[in-house]
A and B are shown apart, each in its own frame.
Chain A
Amino acid sequence: MENVYVLGIDRALDAEARVERLVHEHEAKLARYLRRFINDREVALDLTQDVFFAAFRMLRADPNRPLTAGWLYKTATNHAISLLRRQKRRGPTVPLEDAGSAFRLDERCAESLDLQKALGALPHEQLACVMLTTYAGYSSAEAGLILGLSADAVRQRVCRAMRSMRTALGVTA
């Protein structure tokens, strides 16, 4: 991971101040990432809050530990995958017609809803790879570090995810 991603270096600040800074810098992007991941705005807000609170606890336990943006996205991805697995065990709670209701009216363009529909058809592991590489902007190597995979494994999953998305969107080759 590059040094540019290292956050909260100012160790003179206490944990709460460092977390406030993290929140100020990453809250919108992280919340949108989680909303796209789990397709639920309110739950995405809760999960984002959980991620920042986890960062606070980590900094409180070890103030000298550097906190990276990769750590934030890794924690967010793990939280989201855990939530999706729980939802899968419980069964679907939101009708398919309501897919996209996580987005406000001014955000509901065709491309956005198509992307959400295609992402909803992906398995969790492929979804995490696609979200980290395309939405969060990490390279396949960085996404591999976050997910504990090799870069080739991430690329392979992205390829398979694209096949599924193409089928979901009805795109012909």
Chain B
Amino acid sequence: MRGHDRYEALVGALLLDEATAGERAEFAAHAEGCARCRADATSLGVPLRDFVEAASEHETWRPSLAGDVRARIAESRQKRVRFAVGTLGYAVAASLVINVAFVTGFAGRAIDALRVVPDFRYATTQSITLEHRPPAAVEPAPAMVTIDRVARRVTHVREERSQQKIKTGETAGSRSTSDVIEGLAILNDDGSATRDVAQIARRCASAVDAVFTPEEPCPSPEPR
């Protein structure tokens, strides 16, 4: 306790008439040099308790609260009983509902329905963006094949036609050799490509004659 707080406490003890002889002597020694503490000690001129007692002497009010307190206690008991009965009722009702749900199988179906999540559930939330692109114009490059490959191809086509003739008993139709090798080109020595069907046909024929004998079976075409 700080310096003057101690003497404030001593003044309080004096006002309440609780100060011991030692405390009174201590305060008297301090009060000789402290006017404020002297004024506090005399305070209202009479001891505080006497002042309050004098003011309270005229109080004659005697309220009767017994009936009100009894009614409030009874009300609280009723409230507790109502709460207990209400809680019990709700518990019984909830138990009945749960039991009936399980007995009738409704609960199982409900659980299954909740468990299965269809795939289309989120389909509507996905957006699909279709991009429309025009096809790029690509100029076809002239096909360049070696004579050997062309010859094999031509021979194979010829064989096919002869087989078709055997099967159908008629000619191979409107497809001629020139039609088959049409679109092929011959790469010249200077790098230019020529598209002479007759020349290609001749070269193919000579190549076939040089490579294959009539007794040899037609080789199967190479896989592309």
Contacts and interface: CB of A to CB of B under 8 A. Distances in A.
Contacts of A53: 69, 72-73, 76
Contacts of A157: 12
Interface stretch (A21-29, A61-69, A72-80, A88-96): A21-29
A28 B56 CA distance: 13
A133 B58 contact: no
Contacts of B52: 115, 134-135
Nearest to B48: A134
Nearest to A139: B18
A33 B163 CA distance: 130
Interface stretch (B35-43, B82-90, B169-177): B35-43
A11 interface: no
Chain B interface size, as a band, is 35 or more
A166 B43 contact: yes
A85 interface: no
- Mostly, the A contact residues are helix
Contact of A163 (B38, B40, B45): B40
Contacts, number: 139
B58 A152 contact: no
B8 interface: yes
Given A155-B16, A162-B11, A162-B40, 5 more contacts: A32-B59, A56-B69, A140-B12, A140-B18, A159-B15
A45 to B, nearest CB: 6
B65 A109 contact: no
B122 interface: no
Interface of A: 16, 19-20, 23-24, 27-28, 31-32, 35-36, 41, 45, 48-49, 52-53, 56-57, 103-104, 106-109, 111-112, 114-116, 130, 133-135, 139-140, 152-160, 162-163, 165-166, 169, 171, 173
B18 A171 contact: no
A27 B61 CA distance: 11
A104 B63 contact: no
B98 interface: no
A103 B54 CA distance: 15
- Mostly, the B contact residues are helix
B93 to A, nearest CB: 29
A112 B56 contact: yes
A140 B8 CA distance: 14
Contacts of A109: 55, 58
A159 B55 contact: no
B64 A158 contact: no
A158 B48 contact: yes
A129 to B, nearest CB: 9
Query: B6, B15, B61 — which one has the most chain A CB atoms within 10 A of its CB?
Result: B61
B56 A135 contact: yes
A104 B60 CA distance: 9
A139 B48 CA distance: 13
Contacts of B29: none
A129 B211 CA distance: 131
10 contacts: A56-B76, A106-B58, A107-B60, A111-B51, A112-B58, A139-B18, A140-B12, A156-B5, A162-B40, A173-B39
Contact of B63 (A45, A134, A139, A162): A45
Interface string B1-29: 10001101111110110100000000000
Contacts of B224: none
B44 interface: yes
B152 to A, nearest CB: 108
Given A35-B61, A112-B55, A140-B18, A162 B43 contact: yes
Contacts of A130: 48
